[in-house]
């Protein structure tokens, strides 16, 4: 199958004159595109998180050609064009970066999130504010009825009830 | 006349990526559409799949593969 594939290499320019570096190499098939991801750059969690987002749009097949590398094969669910496949691979690569950033933000804010959650559930201030709210509700219930609608079970009006 | 049995489609899932529970989940889900068998060898789950309707075999195999991935991600909490 691989031999029928066309090997494509995207090259990035370098600031040093006319020296190019291969940055994103992929193989293009009729309805599919495959590329290998370096796991020292993108971790497994980011790759899986990205794959999950693409499950509804294409068929995915992951394999590990060698240690530290993960190969992703995206197969379009419908007839498509090479341009659309290129765009799909580009979206995948961008989403990988997005997932990495999300992970880093999640890790860097983990302690503060845990602190907030701890405060919310176990802090004394929260208990006090809940008690204050309950006391306020009780006070409202005990206050006089502003519309002064008499009800038969109200003891204060019982003098007229029996008469 | 001797009818040649259809050659089953072989799908291999790398154990370093996919989990057994994901493969089992897909096998259970697709049992009504294809005859499936599972083997394990050299770090791979090997699934032999013969669709009851051969015309749909490729499509079933693609969906099967996605199902294994999705179930694997679910097991690992990646889909939450």
Q: Find the CB nearest A62 among B17, B63, B78.
A: B17
In angstroms, the CA B12 to CA B43 distance is 10
Residue A147 has pLDDT above 70, yes or no: no
Residue A150 has pLDDT above 60, yes or no: yes
Task: With beta carbons less than 8 A apart as the criterion, state whether A60 and A33 touch.
Answer: no
Contacts made by residues B22-28, CB under 8 angstroms, sequence distance 24+: B22/B67, B22/B68, B22/B69, B22/B70, B22/B71, B22/B72, B22/B74, B22/B75, B23/B47, B23/B68, B23/B71, B25/B67, B25/B68, B25/B71, B26/B64, B26/B67, B26/B68, B26/B71
For the stretch A64-104, pLDDT in tens is 999 999 999 999 998 899 999 999 999 999 999 999 999 99
Mean pLDDT of chain B: 89
Task: With beta carbons less than 8 A apart as the criterion, state whether A95 and A55 touch.
Answer: no
Domain B9-75 has CATH 1.20.58: no
Quickly state the pLDDT bin for B73 (edges 50, 70, 90): very high
**Are residues B65 and A60, on separate chains, in Cβ contact within 8 Å?**
yes
For the stretch B9-59, pLDDT in tens is 999 999 999 999 999 999 999 999 999 999 999 899 999 999 999 888 999
pLDDT at A128: 73
- Decide: helix, strand or coil at residue A84: helix
Please indicate whether residue B47 or residue A15 has the higher confidence score (pLDDT). B47
pLDDT at A21: 40
pLDDT at A2: 41
Q: Find the CB nearest A60 among B12, B14, B69.
A: B69
Tell me the percentage of chain A whose pLDDT exceeds 70: 69
Quickly state the pLDDT bin for A58 (edges 50, 70, 90): very high
For the stretch A22-53, pLDDT in tens is 567 888 888 999 999 999 999 999 999 999 99
Mean pLDDT of chain A: 78
pLDDT at A7: 52
**Are residues A51 and B63, on separate chains, in Cβ contact within 8 Å?**
no
Residue A18 has pLDDT above 50, yes or no: no
- Ordered by start, the domain boundaries in chain B are 9-75
pTM above 0.80, yes or no: no
Min CA distance, B33 vs chain A (Å)? Answer: 18
Rounded to the nearest 5°, which phi and psi values hold at A32?
-140, 160
- ipTM of the complex model: 0.83
Query: Which of A16-20, A136-140, B26-30, B36-40 shows the lowest mean pLDDT across its residues?
Result: A16-20
Min CA distance, A77 vs chain B (Å)? Answer: 9
Give contacts of A64 with chain B, Cβ < 8 Å.
14, 16-17
Partner A contacted by B10 (CB < 8 A): no
For the stretch A112-130, pLDDT in tens is 988 888 888 777 666 677 7
Radius of gyration of chain A (CA): 32
What fold is seen in the domain A2-108?
Gyrase A; domain 2 (3.30.1360)
């Amino acid at each position: 199958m691989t031999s029928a594939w066309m090997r494509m290499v995207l090259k990035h320019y370098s600031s040093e004159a006319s020296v190019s570096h291969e940055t994103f190499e992929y193989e293009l098939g009729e309805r599919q595109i495959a590329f290998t991801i370096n796991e020292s750059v993108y971790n497994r969690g980011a790759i899986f998180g990205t794959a999950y987002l693409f499950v509804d749009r294409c068929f995915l097949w992951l394999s590990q050609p060698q240690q530290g590398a993960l190969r992703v094969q995206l197969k379009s669910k419908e007839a498509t064009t090479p341009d659309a496949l290129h765009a799909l691979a580009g979206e995948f690569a961008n989403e990988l970066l997005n997932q990495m950033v999300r992970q880093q933000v999640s890790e860097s804010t983990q302690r503060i999130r845990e602190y907030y959650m701890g405060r919310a559930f176990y802090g004394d201030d929260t208990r006090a504010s809940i008690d204050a709210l309950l006391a306020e509700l009780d006070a409202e219930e005990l206050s006089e009825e502003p519309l002064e609608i008499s009800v038969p079970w109200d003891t204060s009006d019982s003098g007229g009830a029996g008469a | 006349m001797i009818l040649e049995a259809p050659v089953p489609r072989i799908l291999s899932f790398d154990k370093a990526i996919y989990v057994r529970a994901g493969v089992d989940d897909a096998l259970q889900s697709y049992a009504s559409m294809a005859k499936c068998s599972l083997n394990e060898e050299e770090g791979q789950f090997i699934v032999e799949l013969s669709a009851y309707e051969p015309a749909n075999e490729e499509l079933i195999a693609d969906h099967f593969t996605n199902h294994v991935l999705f179930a694997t991600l679910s097991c690992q909490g990646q889909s939450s």
